Amino acid sequence: MPTEAAPPPIPQPYTAHLTDTSGKKPRRWRQLALLSGLSSVDNSESSVVSVLFPALRTALGLPLAALGVLVGVGKLAGVIFGPVWVAVAQRYPRKNVLAVCCGLWGVWTIGSGFAQNYVQLLVLFTISAAGVAGGGPLVNALLSDLFDDKTRGRAAGYLYGLAALGTGLAGPLLGRLSDVEDGWRYGFFVAGSIQVLFGILVLLFLRDPGVGASEPQLSSAAPTSRGNHTLTWARVRELLRNRTLMLICLQRVVNGQFVIISFGVTFLVDERGFTNAEASFLTVPFSAAYLAGTILGGMVTDRVHLRKPRTGRVMALQFTVIAYAVVAYFVTQFTWQTLAMHFVLFGVLAAIQGSTPGINRPLVMSTTLPELRGAAFALMLSAEAAGWACTTVLVGYLGDALGLQVAFLWLVVVLMLVNGALISFLYRTYPRDAAAVQAELVRRASTARTTSS
């Protein structure tokens, strides 16, 4: 393991700040709250499917594998269209693109509620997922421009924690629709309408700070000195040579955490005998614990990073992944008699999972240049979506054949142990890639000062 050493000294931050075209400095915590709300609703169509699948399955006569296919195809659409939305955001204002793909695109979520058969639902659901795929990379790129390296873990924790809390509170409300005839349709109608509402709010109130605005070395540099923001094939090749980013992408592919999100309610119905309405309350403790995990995890990781700038975040990521595998074994492979006990154990699992965004997002931000972060997150989240798609499809078919408990053993517990082993390679790549980015930012700052003088 590499020895600890402090990173190169960073010049004192300058007073000027790059703002958006309105000339107003964004209030970063207020902007974060808006982005959190948007993140909460931009995957609400997936929440409808995951929470109401037992009712939807009965209404349309679907097998368990259909849940895996729906989620999987939706995520594969994200693999393709996530980078597309990032490319569009290179030509048009980021907030406008974000408002369209994660907000106004909600009309397709509303359309999913009108599906008359499985094929129609699959097509409409996939189109809906293709739009919201742009949310992840664009929101994370904005986050990196609002917060500096010292506070990004905490900011990412708040972002994903508040988003998860909103999703969790909606879970029981969606679960109540399982007792209403065609209630799953109303779930899509409500989810899509809220998406459209948040799209309008983003257009009205979001302020883009500008690419690289949070970097102290570049805060006084003219936009032309901050680097060319156009995404070219040469820059894509540059990203593909980033070893840390490639390892994180591989780690997101080999990831079984999302299986619990997609199949948790159905697991309690099929394997433990609870009703759909009862099991839907799982989203409340799960999301509350996830919120606690994101906030505490982000704060702790920022402190660990200050103490061990070369390896602290990598150590934290590896610990959470292995801990998740261990806890998931006890949660899914043992029969607990009461629903309350399931809620407690799933809550522990959620808290561990919640710490992840506050670790891996700053890892990506600190090893990529500001103008490449949107593309880097598009690449990472596309890999994540591909892994999510593959594991959910496999769980669906394996669950039909052997049961969800067996599927969880192999595609959650064992897969996460493999994931933890892969993270070991980051101990070598992360310090080098982070130092290279810092050196380039210092060079740009020096060039900007020389030019201005």
CA distance 131 to 108: 9
pLDDT number for residue 25: 47
Give the pLDDT score at 220.
52
Lowest mean pLDDT among 21-30, 359-368, 389-398: 21-30
* pLDDT number for residue 11: 36
277 vs 451, more confident:
277
Reported as a pLDDT band with limits 50, 70 and 90, residue 219 is low
Task: Say yes or no to pLDDT of 230 above 60.
Answer: no
**What's the pLDDT tens digit per position in 353-388?**
999 999 999 999 999 999 899 889 989 988 998 998
Confidence tier at 3 by pLDDT (50, 70, 90):
very low
Q: Say yes or no to pLDDT of 269 above 60.
A: yes
pLDDT above 60 for 198 = yes
Calculate the average pLDDT of the chain: 86
CA-CA distance, 437 to 370, in Å (whole number)?
9
* pLDDT score for 244: 97
Tell me the average pLDDT across 53-75.
87
Span 424-444, mean pLDDT? 94
Query: What's the mean pLDDT in 143-170?
Result: 85
The pLDDT of residue 7 is: 41
Query: For 306-338, what is each residue's pLDDT tens digit?
Result: 999 999 999 999 999 999 999 999 999 999 989
Under the banding of pLDDT at 50, 70 and 90, the label for residue 193 is very high
Q: What is the pTM of this model?
A: 0.78
